[in-house]
Chain A
Amino acid sequence: MNRKKRFVIAVVLSIVFMLVAAGAWAAPQFQGTVPPPPVTGVGSCLVPVDMGTALITLLCNDDSVVMSVIVEAVENPAETYVPAPEGKTFTGDTFKVTTDPEDALIQICYAYPPEFSDKEAKINKLNEDATPNAWVEVPGAVINNGTICVTSAAGVFSLIGNP
């Protein structure tokens, strides 16, 4: 290729680079050397924990006691704990809720769009006393304004419904 042709190609390509050059390097936030941690939320009597798909509120009735709640999103609950009951499936996210003191009560509310009610999804809690562990529906669920809520002590919760 003679010099003139090479130069023309170089000019054209440089102009193309100049025209297309733009923007910022696409980069997933916080995806670095230490992988993103499990999603966690921390709350107190005045501060509920919003995990996106669920809201966890500590029920405080004694101002003299300092209370806190930690909520951790659980990936792959079937492997981490046990699979959903036969014929059922995990419909929503699974959360491990820990309170201090341990016997504190919490209210956990999941977003409950129509497709979840079609699947008869209910909030289940992991019964860790059973062998093997088992998912048990938490009684007293209140469905209102696009949410389903239950009140319970700390534990592992998930929304489980029909496939």
Chain B
Amino acid sequence: MFSLSLVLILGLCYSLSIAPSLTWAHFSADGGDLISAVVTGGVPHSSGYPLYLILARGFQFLPIGDLAFRTNLLSAICTILTALLLYAYLLRQLHDRSLAHYVSFLTAIAYGFAPFVWGQALVTEVYALHSLLMMLCVYALSLDEPKISEWGRGFVFGIAATNHLTAIMMFPLLAFGYDGKLLASPTVLLKRCLGVATGLALYLSLPVRAYFNPPINWGDASTFDGFFWLVSGQIYRQYTFGLPLADVIQRLRVFAGFLSDQYTWLGVLLGVYGLFSLPSRRVLIPTLWMGSVFLFFAISYGSYDSQVNLLPVWLAFAVWLSFGLYDLLSLLSERCKLQVSIVGILFVGIMLRVSFLFSSVDASQDFRARDFIDNALRVIPQSSLVFVDGDEQIFSLWYAQFALNQRADMAIVAKGLLPYEWYYENLQHTYGYLNVPQRDKLQISDLVSANPARTICYISHDEPIVCVQDR
């Protein structure tokens, strides 16, 4: 009954707020890149997301909405599954069966409606699947044989890293014993490593995809250098520890505020209390590790949207929150109806909060991506060479051209990718009609000079589209 209620409540709210098509809401600028790569059998930006590509491809056959909506749906399903898995995990860890149901249900609902989590459930991005896989990793560590083999435990971790590369930060957890011993024996470790390697093998699908020169082909993973460049995230190395200390401290302060945004100050109190109330190492080690490493990564990573990397932190905090709530509620006698009353009040409180949060999370009315695409396709003259700046703009145009097969006449050039050799090879393959000079570090002027008959258009972030005709 609780799990069904969880699915129905989250499902209803997500369906009312899900983006109907491609959107830029909730840091989902990458959506156009991901969807285009899925549709064309291509390879999106680092690290390639092979697991996401396979799952999203399945969703694109659903007879509902447009391509973008179907991958938005994947995020919603992943988030609901994460909440369900969290519920199941907490039920196992909390011993009193009747109270455990209430607390686990409340926690899963609170998690599902944490604004960051809710937002990622509504858009095309990899983070909802990433959260599900992180929960799966924590769950896998809580099980004993024969429910899961050591190889199987490793496999879950390996496959998690084929969605988002940051999952490798969870790998050290496989070194722990969880069976009374602090560290795993060499044999167990070996089995887990073999499982990890098996899971990671999914990355080998990327060179196969790249071999066919799809229009979305970051890094050209068909070569060893290209594969390594893509999978290791070399393009983003500069972002790692790329912030000044003052900015890192600023982010820590903002994180404190984010915490209350997700769970309210009451939730923060319960979560911190729960962290000190965790009874077993088997719960504490994975959740504390997960919370710490992802917090550290999110505050030190130099991209403008790095706070989406906090999702596993919210998951860890939800576990601590449940222990805090459970510990306090267990002070009351089970026979006393106060337990149920308090749970009821908290549930009503959460749902009231949902009604207040709805408008800030709702992506169903976000048409910025659609409006941008409509305007761009109307304004850009036939056979133009279009230089584009900004993730939202580049990926939206890729979605229109490669996923929706619109305006094949225009050549879209992402300015920020011009310095990369794989990119001008990609331009040559994708736009056979374009004259792409062979250069070290191709520049805009090289393309402009080599294609004198084409109208040149410039698109940059929120600025108006500028086209230069009659050259």
- Which candidate, A21-29, A54-62, A117-125, is the interface stretch facing chain B? A21-29
Judge if B176 is at the interface, Cβ distance under 8 Å.
Answer: no
Contacts of B237-286 to chain A: CB distance below 8 A? 238-239, 242-243, 246-248, 250-254, 256-257, 259-260, 265, 268-270, 272-273, 276-277
Which among A11, A14, A18 has the greatest number of chain B C-beta atoms within 10 A?
A: A14
**Distance (whole angstroms) from the CB of A126 to the closest CB of chain B:** 14
| Chain A contacts for B268, CB-based, 8 A | 14, 17
Residues A23 and B254 in contact, CB atoms below 8 Å apart: yes
B45 at the interface (CB under 8 A from A): yes
**A77: min CB distance to chain B, Å:** 11
Tell me the minimal C-beta distance from A104 to chain B in angstroms.
12
A95–chain B nearest beta-carbon distance, Å: 11
Q: Assuming the A-B contacts A21-B256, A35-B235, A68-B471, are A26 and B417 also in contact, with contact meaning beta carbons closer than 8 angstroms in the complex? A: no
Q: Binary interface profile of A, 28-41, with partner B (CB < 8 Å = 1, else 0)?
A: 11111111111010
Q: A27 to B260, Cβ gap below 8 A?
A: no
Hey, which chain B residues are within 8 Å of A16, CB to CB?
256
Q: Across the interface, do B253 and A21 meet the contact criterion of CB distance under 8 Å?
A: yes
Q: B306 at interface (Cβ–Cβ under 8 A)?
A: yes
Once the chains are docked, how many angstroms separate the CA of A158 from the CA of B239? 29
Asked if B30 and A33 sit within 8 Å, CB to CB, the answer is yes
Tell me whether B449 is interfacial, beta carbon within 8 Å.
Answer: yes
Complex alpha-carbon distance, A89 and B461, angstroms: 35
**In whole angstroms, how far apart are the Cα atoms of A100 and B444 in the complex?**
13
Residues A11 and B415 in contact, CB atoms below 8 Å apart: no
Closest A residue to B310 by beta carbon equals A25
Chain A residues near B466 (CB-CB < 8 A): 42
> CB distance A21 to B254 under 8 Å?
yes
Report how many A-B pairs have Cβ atoms within 8 Å: 136
Among B239, B307, B443, B458, which residue has the most Cβ atoms of chain A within 10 A?
A: B443
- B302 located at the interface, meaning its Cβ lies under 8 Å from any Cβ of chain A in the complex: yes
* Proximity string of chain B (42-59) to chain A, C-beta cutoff 8 Å, 1 when within and 0 when not: 000100000000000000
Interface size on B (CB < 8 Å)?
62
Tell which of B152-160, B200-208, B387-395, B425-433 binds the partner: B387-395
Contacts of B235 in A (CB 8 A): 35
CB distance from A27 to the nearest CB of B (A): 4
Do the beta carbons of B391 and A33 come within 8 Å of each other? yes
Give the size of the chain A interface in residues (CB under 8 angstroms). Answer: 41
Answer whether residue B418 sits at the interface, using C-beta atoms and an 8 A cutoff: yes
- Taking CB atoms, residues of chain B closer than 8 Å to A40 are 415, 444
Task: Say yes or no: A33 contacts B45, CB within 8 Å.
Answer: yes
> Which B316-356 residues have a C-beta within 8 angstroms of A?
324, 327, 331
Q: Is the CB of A31 within 8 A of B302?
A: yes
* CB pair B415 A37 closer than 8 Å: yes
Asked if A93 CB lies within 8 Å of chain B CBs, one says: no
B33 contacts the other chain (CB 8 A) = yes
B379 on the interface (CB 8 Å rule)?
no
A25 interface neighbour in B33, B251, B276, Cβ under 8 Å: B251
Q: What is the 8 Å Cβ interface bit string for chain B, positions 352-395, against chain A (1 contact, 0 not)?
A: 00000000000000000000000000000000000001110011
Query: Other than the known A27-B306, A31-B302, A100-B471, what 8 A-B pairs have Cβ atoms closer than 8 Å?
Result: A3-B327, A9-B276, A16-B256, A18-B265, A27-B305, A33-B33, A37-B414, A66-B471
- Can you list 22 A-B pairs with a CB-CB distance of less than 8 A? A3-B327, A13-B272, A14-B265, A14-B268, A21-B256, A21-B260, A22-B253, A22-B254, A25-B250, A25-B254, A26-B248, A27-B305, A30-B304, A30-B390, A32-B29, A33-B391, A34-B390, A34-B414, A35-B235, A37-B414, A37-B418, A66-B471
> What residues of chain B have their CB less than 8 Å away from a CB belonging to chain A?
29-30, 33, 45, 235, 238-239, 242-243, 246-248, 250-254, 256-257, 259-260, 265, 268-270, 272-273, 276-277, 302-307, 324, 327, 331, 389-391, 394-395, 414-419, 440-441, 443-445, 448-449, 458, 461, 466, 468, 470-471
